[in-house]
Structure 1
Amino acid sequence: MSTEPDLSTPESTPRKSFPLLLVLVPLVLLVLTVGGALVLARFGNPLTLMPLVTVTDPQLAQLSPNVLKSRAAKARTTLERVRPQGLYIVVDTYRNRLRLVEDGKVVREALCSTGTGIVLIDPRNKRKWVFDTPLGERIIERKQKNPVWMKPDWAFIEEGEEPPPPGSPDRVDPYSLGDYGLYMGDGYIIHGTLFKSLLGRRVTHGCIRLGDEDLEYLYHHVPIGTRVYLY
């Protein structure tokens, strides 16, 4: 036999339900009223948390238009003076873009690859290499057609191999740098790549890789001594 009460009988209904309803009804109305006001404020009329206040510098407000034009002209002159002149290269390591600029105008833009930032440690002596593209200013120190890469120790350690003696033929790699190399000093080169599908990514050991056409264009249009700005 079931011991559950028969909910259809009057005896099963609590006798004190009316006071509870008297509490719940105002509460529901309050929630609906406040909620409706918030929704209206958010989606109906703009909800202004802080009024927009325009602040004017009294000294600037008193300047005449001619004085303001004069100051603007001086500012432009200053910017022109500090901006690089002639031909230069800009490397954006964040977006992996290289731009060739002449007198402030971009004449060539290329997808490139830059350093990974990975740290490699030699397990034998704890020597450390950081594969970052250097930031700052450099110059094209020399150019080379069909450059040959003399593989450093880290190129072998990275592959889990023992580095050969200095000058060993095993260090000679005539293929990895592509058809042209523009040398910026300290082993950093703008060169080609065998892995063109990886252009636009941070995959290098610090050098800057370009596609074949962009690299050839730079080689023929960038003279030795051209400044390179990396950021």
Structure 2
Amino acid sequence: MKKCAFLLLSGAALSLASFTAPAYAGDRYGQRPPVVLSPDLSAPWVMQLGGQAAPRGGVVYRTKPRTKRALVAQPRTHRAEPRRVTNVALAAPRIKPKQASQLDPKFLPQTVSYDGNQKPGTIIIDTNQRFLYYVMGNGQARRYGVGVGKEGFGWSGTEKISRKAEWPGWTPPAEMIKRVREKEGRILPVHMKGGPENPLGARALYLGSTLYRIHGTNQPWTIGRAVSSGCIRMRNEDVTDLYERAKVGAKVIVM
């Protein structure tokens, strides 16, 4: 009986194995589903390859590949595109004035009353008030603001206009060249051609045989001050107007 029972159990086991074995083999060796790789390089499968997680959209760098077949990610290089700027207006550079260029309105040209006894065409210069008057007649005069000689260089007297010049050249006296070099450390030119940078400005009216002149200036902010070496300074536009009015031989009174 025992032998028969053992045979029955063995047969049952063999029958069960015969039914289950084909199904197990089919599952093991059948067609596998496709492998879908995540676009995110920080997914777990990358970690299994020994890489390091990177931010989304970043790059994984492998310094020591474990096998010859290991994938090595190439670093991405991002070249900055040069910034293109269009339709930009190029502004002219600003020139900073050496000193304040505003002029007191009282030194601007204007017609004033004149009750003196000088005949028309005469020029009267009041160095204290820093005004030049051109007598026009009919009880009127044209008044301009001027710069005059600084302390120690003022003078007074009567002269005549000996000649006139447009955009005159400047030849500073040897005495002036020496004085400026010793006191200010500046080297004045022996001669300077006429032009906008010339200290004599746009026009000059020479006074007799002296070294003094009524002239323009390249420093209009000095009008109304005692700054010159004895000459009478005017704005370029003002001395140009006076140049057209005054005649050679006209009397000039400096007081």
TM class by smaller structure: 0.5 to 0.7
Per the TM alignment, residue 104 of structure 1 is displaced from its structure 2 partner at its CA by 5.9
Aligned to 1:148: 169
Query: Using the alignment, how far apart are the partners of 1:115 and 1:104 within structure 2?
Result: 31
Give the AA of the match of 1:218.
L
2:136 to 93, 96, 102: 102
Q: Which runs of 5+ in 1 are unaligned?
A: 1-79, 119-130, 162-168
The structure with the larger Rg is 2
Identity of aligned residues (%): 30
Q: Which runs of 5+ in 2 are unaligned?
A: 1-114, 183-187
CA contact (8 A) 1:99 1:106 kept: no
Query: Using the alignment, how far apart are the partners of 2:176 and 2:218 within structure 1?
Result: 16
CA contact (8 A) 1:113 1:209 kept: yes
Per the TM alignment, residue 143 of structure 1 is displaced from its structure 2 partner at its CA by 0.4
1:180 to 194, 200, 203: 203
Instruction: Give 1 or 2: higher strand fraction.
Output: 1
TM-score norm. by structure 1 comes to 0.53
Query: Using the alignment, how far apart are the partners of 2:235 and 2:220 within structure 1?
Result: 6
Query: Using the alignment, how far apart are the partners of 2:146 and 2:117 within structure 1?
Result: 24
Aligned to 1:111: 145
* Match runs of 1:164-175 below 5 Å: 170-174=189-193, 175=198
CA contact (8 A) 1:199 1:211 kept: yes
Aligned to 1:34: none
User: For residues 170 and 199 of structure 1, do their structure 2 counterparts lie closer, same or farther at Cα, with a shift above 3 Å needed?
Assistant: closer
TM-score norm. by structure 2 comes to 0.48
Aligned to 1:209: 233
Pairs aligned (count): 132
Query: Using the alignment, how far apart are the partners of 1:105 and 1:205 within structure 2?
Result: 33
SS in 2 for 1:160: helix
Deviating 4+ runs (over 4 angstroms):
none
Query: Using the alignment, how far apart are the partners of 1:114 and 1:177 within structure 2?
Result: 13
SS in 2 for 1:194: coil
Per the TM alignment, residue 158 of structure 1 is displaced from its structure 2 partner at its CA by 2.5
Query: Using the alignment, how far apart are the partners of 1:84 and 1:107 within structure 2?
Result: 11
Per the TM alignment, residue 176 of structure 1 is displaced from its structure 2 partner at its CA by 1.2
1:222 aligns with 2:246: yes
Query: Using the alignment, how far apart are the partners of 1:106 and 1:151 within structure 2?
Result: 36
Superimposed CA distance per residue, residues 51-92 of structure 1 (whole angstroms, 9 cap, x where no aligned partner): xxxxxxxxxxxxxxxxxxxxxxxxxxxxx9x92222111100
CA contact (8 A) 1:146 1:178 kept: yes
SS in 1 for 2:181: coil
Query: Using the alignment, how far apart are the partners of 1:150 and 1:106 within structure 2?
Result: 36
Query: Using the alignment, how far apart are the partners of 1:170 and 1:87 within structure 2?
Result: 35
